Amino acid sequence: MNKMILFGFVFLLFPLNSSFGATQMFGNNVIFVFVQTTVRNADGQLVVYLESAKFTDLNLSAIESFLDFEASRGKDPVITIDGGQYQVIRRVQSQTFETEDLVASTILSDNVDGKPVLLARFAHDGYTAIPGDTLESMWTFIRPVA
């Protein structure tokens, strides 16, 4: 009986959901998405560090529009990998907590026509935040240059 319980637990650790992944298709282009999140207390000490290239929600059309707008600013480097040109777009979101909170996902959103639109969500184990804690999420997107 213990073997059956262990097998069930291991099976749950490795879900067979194909919607997770680091690379996503936009038409004929492939894009890589990665996020790093840190939480520090009021003294600057590291409380939480999370990173992932696996997401539970990706709004591909909204991300494409977001990246086109961000690229139009002209501040993002273009690198060469195996003869191909790729643009690296990196953006940081910061937040200081003013109340106690339980955080169970890292979310990238944008305002479209005055309304918040979810671009990407990284679900993870929850962590508690207390007033004075600061969160910083660095989102990295790598996409081919047309």
- The 10s digit of each residue's pLDDT in 21-68 is 345 554 556 788 999 999 999 999 999 999 998 888 888 888 989 999
Starting at the earlier edge strand, list the strands of the sheet with 115-129.
Answer: 57-58, 115-129, 101-112
CB atoms within 10 A of CB 32: 15
Please give the Cα distance from 85 to 32 (Å, whole number).
Answer: 14
Interacting residues of 47 by C-beta distance below 8 A, sequence separation 6+: 39, 40, 41, 127, 129, 133
Residue 109's domain comprises 19-144
Inside any domain, residue 95: yes
Confidence class of residue 14 from pLDDT cuts 50, 70 and 90?
A: very low
119 class by beta-carbon count within 10 Å (0-12 exposed, 13-18 middle, 19+ buried)? buried
pTM of the shown model = 0.75
Inside any domain, residue 4: no
Inside any domain, residue 3: no
Inside any domain, residue 1: no
pLDDT for 60 equals 84
> How many structural domains is the chain composed of?
1
Q: In this model, does residue 11 exceed pLDDT 60?
A: no
